[in-house]
C-alpha cells in the first residue's frame, strides 16, 4: 500500500540542480515527508524531512506544496557521488518505522 | 559523527545453519530496527525493538527470526535455520527518542545462503 509515487528514474547533469518529485496525495495531517537515499548497496542515508514548511539543510532542500499532496527534493549542485536511489517516505509521528518503496534511481552524468 | 556498525560485512552459510548478525547502534539511541533487502528488490522492514522488547514486526519476521539486546550495546538478529531465500543484505538502524528523529542505518551485512 504505497503512500508515495515517484518516477522510476531520472538523469541529471553534474553541477546542475536535480529536482526529484514525489506525490503523496493521501497524506494526513500527522504525517511527515522524509527523504532517504541509498548509494549502490549501502545502508539508506537520511537526507531531510518536513511537515508543511519548506526545509533546507547542507544536503538538500525540500519543497512541500501548500496542500501537502506533493513535494520536491532539490539537490542544488548534483555531483557524480549523488548517483543513488532516492526514497520519498511518508511517516506519521507515532509510527517509528520507515516503509520504503521503489524510489527514483538518479544518475548524475558528467 | 556517530554511526551504526554491523558485523560481519559478509557471511556465507549453508542452508539450515544458524546465523547471528550483530549491530552496535548509536549509543544514546532508544529504538532499534532490522531491515533486509533482497538483491534488486525494495528495502523491507523486519522488526523494531524498544525498551527491551519487540515493538513491531512484519510478516517476514516469522519464528525463524529473533532479536535481542544482550548487553545494552549490541543488537543482534538471529536466523535459526537459514533458507536460500534468506540471502539478502540485512541493515540495522537506530533512532533517538525524538518523535521526528531520523533512522540511522548501518552499512549492512550481506548474507549468502548456499
d(CA B50, CA B68): 10
Q: Regarding beta strands B109-113 and B10-13, do their DSSP bridges make them parallel or antiparallel, or are they unpaired?
A: parallel
Shortest CA gap B65–chain A (Å) = 18
Say if residue B8 is preceded by a cis peptide, omega within 30 of 0.
yes
What does each C-alpha distance from B63 to B21, B66, B67 come to in angstroms? 16, 7, 11
What average pLDDT does chain A have? 94
**Given a cut of 90, is residue B98 above it in pLDDT?**
no
For residue B99, what pLDDT is reported? 73
Q: φ, ψ for residue A36 (rounded to 5)?
A: -125, 165
Please say whether the beta carbons of B102 and A34 come within 8 A: yes
* Residue stretches of chain A with pLDDT short of 70: 1-2
Nearest CA to A54 out of A65, A62, A45, A66 is that of A62
For residue A2, what pLDDT is reported? 63
Residue that is written with C-alpha cell 523494531 in the block: B48
Residues of chain B contacting A41 with CB distance shorter than 8 Å: 37, 89, 108, 110
What average pLDDT does chain B have? 94
Number of H helices, E strands in chain B: 0, 11
Q: φ, ψ for residue A3 (rounded to 5)?
A: -95, -10
For residue B13, what pLDDT is reported? 97
d(CA A91, CA A28): 10
What does each C-alpha distance from A44 to B36, B105, B106 come to in angstroms? 11, 6, 8
What does each C-alpha distance from B96 to A58, A69, B48, B75, B114 come to in angstroms? 21, 28, 13, 15, 37
Q: Which of residues 70-99 of A touch B (CB under 8 A)?
A: 87, 93-94, 96-99
For residue A57, what pLDDT is reported? 96
Amino acid at each position: 500500500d504505497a503512500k508515495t509515487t515517484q518516477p522510476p528514474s531520472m538523469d541529471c547533469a553534474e553541477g546542475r540542480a536535480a529536482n526529484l518529485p514525489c506525490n503523496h496525495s493521501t497524506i494526513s495531517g500527522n504525517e511527515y515527508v522524509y527523504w532517504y537515499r541509498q548509494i549502490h548497496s549501502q545502508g539508506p542515508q537520511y537526507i531531510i524531512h518536513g511537515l508543511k514548511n519548506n526545509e533546507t539543510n547542507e544536503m538538500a532542500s525540500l519543497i512541500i506544496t501548500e496542500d501537502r499532496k506533493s513535494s520536491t527534493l532539490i539537490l542544488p549542485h548534483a555531483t557524480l557521488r549523488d548517483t543513488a536511489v532516492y526514497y520519498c517516505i511518508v511517516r506519521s509521528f507515532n509510527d517509528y518505522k520507515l516503509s520504503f518503496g521503489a524510489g527514483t534511481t538518479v544518475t548524475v552524468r558528467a | 559523527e556517530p554511526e551504526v556498525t554491523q558485523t560481519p560485512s559478509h557471511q556465507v552459510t549453508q542452508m539450515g545453519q544458524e546465523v547471528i548478525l550483530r549491530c552496535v547502534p548509536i549509543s544514546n539511541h532508544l529504538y532499534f530496527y532490522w531491515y533486509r533487502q533482497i538483491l534488486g528488490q525494495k528495502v523491507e522492514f523486519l522488526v523494531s525493538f524498544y525498551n527491551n522488547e519487540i515493538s513491531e514486526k512484519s510478516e517476514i519476521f516469522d519464528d525463524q527470526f529473533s532479536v535481542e539486546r544482550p548487553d545494552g550495546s549490541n543488537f543482534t538478529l538471529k536466523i535459526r535455520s537459514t533458507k536460500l531465500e534468506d540471502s539478502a543484505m540485512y541493515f540495522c538502524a537506530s533512532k533517538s527518542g525524538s518523535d521526528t528523529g531520523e533512522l540511522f542505518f548501518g552499512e549492512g551485512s550481506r548474507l549468502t545462503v548456499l
